[in-house]
Amino acid sequence: MTQAGAETTPAQWEAIPVADLLAHPGNVRDDVQVPDDLLADITANGVQEPLYIVRTHGDVPQVIDGFMRLAAAVAAGLETVPFTPRPVIRIDQLTPHPKNAREDLDINAAFVESLRAEGCRIPVKIQRLEGGVLQVNDGNRRYFGSKEADLTHLPYEWDDESRDEADQFLDMITTAQHRKSLTHGEMTAAMFSAAEAGAQVGRIAKAAGVRQKDVKAVVRVRTNKALNAAVADAADYAWTFDHLAALSEFADDAEALAAITGAAAAKGADADDVDWAIAIERTKRDRRRRAEAHRAELEQAGQRIRDAAELSERATPVWRLKTTDGKRISADEHAQCKGQVWVLEGADDEKYKPYCTSPVLYGHAAPGDGGAASTKTSADKEAEKAARAAVKKGNIEWDAAEGRRRQWIADLVKRRSLPKDTTNIVTGHISTALLDGTWGVGDDLNSDATTKILATLLGLTSDQAKDRSAFTEHVSKDPRRAVQLQFAAIAAVRERSAGRYAWRTDEMRCNDIRRATARWFKILEALGYSLTPIERSVADDEPYDPNRPKRAALPASSDQAAEAEPAADEAAA
């Protein structure tokens, strides 16, 4: 209820005018004699102990406890007095049960903050023992939590004094059995209802023991028709606050919402599955943004842009062009061709590609083998097109996994301290990397690519990332983080080597990269990282088919029918 030394907090006692109480004769007792010390205290400090007042028929305020304090307030000329609509008792008058059944009361920060913000809402059950001791038979967690929250009073009710110690322990069992926490869905619904009823975000967050941004995420989802429907489509999944916040990013993207919801609604889906779906959709979104930026650059440079559907069958990507004598035509060489246009081949591509609208018309060899007639059947061409589309889809998933993985590593690096087992694994890996010389640390540690990754893992700004020699100045000097920072440097080398070639098991397979990446993934897994499906295929040295149904899998992509670049170019991109 009220907080010690904090009379203006939201949990302070309500006040009622003295005149309202005096207007009803039942609140004035002629036989009440106010002691001099009580009158002096109330005259100097006001009424500190609230009156217990209930409302009877006709909304009449009736004093149940506090007649003497009211009389003193009248004598002292006070205009209002504090009151409570239910009985409360000072915490310092209570004694916890010496044999409480709960060994771990779980007095966590969120519970204490909730009590501090809203007071204790559930009465403790107390019993008067010999010698006047008031023992808490039920509600010991509330008792200790309220003390930590600096509350001065608790609501209470009397336990049946005829019940013996055996009855008290049986009560502990039955009350624990009868309690049931709100489900996550019930909690978020209640939080939204509180917001609709006018409760401020901060108050809801404190009452629920969550972050303010969690409350805001709930309100955004519940007030948006598309987002609310998406959550309802996977009602059996326990949506986390972070996942609700992520949904808000895609409020205007029905395809992305469907993919994320589909992952959540899948049988046996867990948080990792939904994380994976969100990571994929974020990667696709980021690719579209980069494509928009690329288009703006091309337009500013005066380049012609065409939709893939506008091109004739003769249009050919520049990478496939050759001269009439069979030599390759580079993009720079084709830049001055009057037939050049730029095309976004697939909806999830991040770059526009140069095309020639009519190779023969503009002096190039027909697509294929330098002018010779192609021997490939339509079925062969369709199979190649499907294979290239699968590569593009796999690369999207690889990029999504990479972003998710590097964020996990960055979070590990930011931790002030690590558990002993984790520290041992990290330290062992650092030693192996430095001593065995099998990971290329000496060659790659100071490369530009490694420096860029390391800056990301350390959380440096773009300005801080410009000078590798000053990285140490920008990170924590806390010696407890030394192992994490050393690990970040080694991890940056590992991540630099874990390129797209690692997941391929077709003609572009690179066993050296795949084996090294598999070893790295297994180290991360030992540290607690949950591998995505594409990372799992590398760790287990299994082929990966992006189109194979799997938990949290992508729906059929809109660009699967689009022709992609050759596998080598895709892997090198």
CB distance 215 to 201 below 8 Å: yes
Q: For residue range 81-127, what is the model confidence (pLDDT) as tens digits?
A: 999 888 888 888 888 887 665 556 667 777 788 777 777 777 888 88
At residue 169, the pLDDT reads 57
Phi and psi for 313 in degrees, rounded to 5? Answer: -65, -20
Mean pLDDT of 428-453: 82
Give the tokens for residue 438.
Answer: 């099998």
CB distance 73 to 42 below 8 Å: yes
Least confidently predicted of 164-178, 180-194, 442-456: 164-178
Against a cut of 0.85, is the pTM above it? Answer: no
Mean pLDDT of 438-466: 85
140 pLDDT higher than 90: no
Q: Count CB neighbours of 384 within 10 A.
A: 14
At residue 370, the pLDDT reads 43
Ramachandran assignment for 536, one of left (phi > 0), alpha (psi -120 to 50 degrees), beta (any other): alpha
- As annotated, the residues of the chain forming the CATH 3.90.1530.30 domain(s) are 14-85, 90-178
pLDDT band at 495, cuts 50/70/90? Answer: very high
Q: For residue range 52-90, what is the model confidence (pLDDT) as tens digits?
A: 888 887 788 888 888 999 999 999 999 999 998 888 888
Average confidence score pLDDT of the chain: 82
CB distance 288 to 253 below 8 Å: no
At residue 371, the pLDDT reads 42
* Residue burial 102-126, b: 16+ Cβ < 10 Å; e: rest: eeeeebeeebbbbbbbbbbeebbbb
Instruction: Could you please state the CATH topology (level 3) that the domain comprising 90-178 is classified under.
Output: 3.90.1530
Q: For residue range 371-413, what is the model confidence (pLDDT) as tens digits?
A: 444 567 778 778 888 888 888 899 999 999 999 999 999 999 9
Q: Choose among 158, 139, 147: nearest CA to 91.
A: 147
Mean pLDDT of 260-268: 90
Question: Helix and strand tally (H, E) in the chain?
Answer: 23, 13
Mean pLDDT of 243-256: 92
pLDDT band at 524, cuts 50/70/90? Answer: very high
Mean pLDDT of 490-501: 91
DSSP-assigned letters across all residues of 229-249:
HHHHHTTTS---HHHHHHHHH
C-alpha dihedral sign at 434, 438, 442, 444: negative
Q: What is the spatial distance between Cα 266 and Cα 268, in angstroms, rounded to a whole number?
A: 6
Quote the Cα angle for 478-479-480, to 5°.
Answer: 90
At residue 165, the pLDDT reads 60
Please report, as a single letter, which amino acid is at residue 110.
Answer: A
Mean pLDDT of 303-322: 90
At residue 313, the pLDDT reads 85
Please report, in angstroms and rounded to a whole number, the separation of the first and last CA atoms in the chain.
63
Query: In percent, how much of the chain has pLDDT > 70?
Result: 86
Instruction: Could you please state the CATH topology (level 3) that the domain comprising 14-85 is classified under.
Output: 3.90.1530
pLDDT band at 209, cuts 50/70/90? Answer: confident
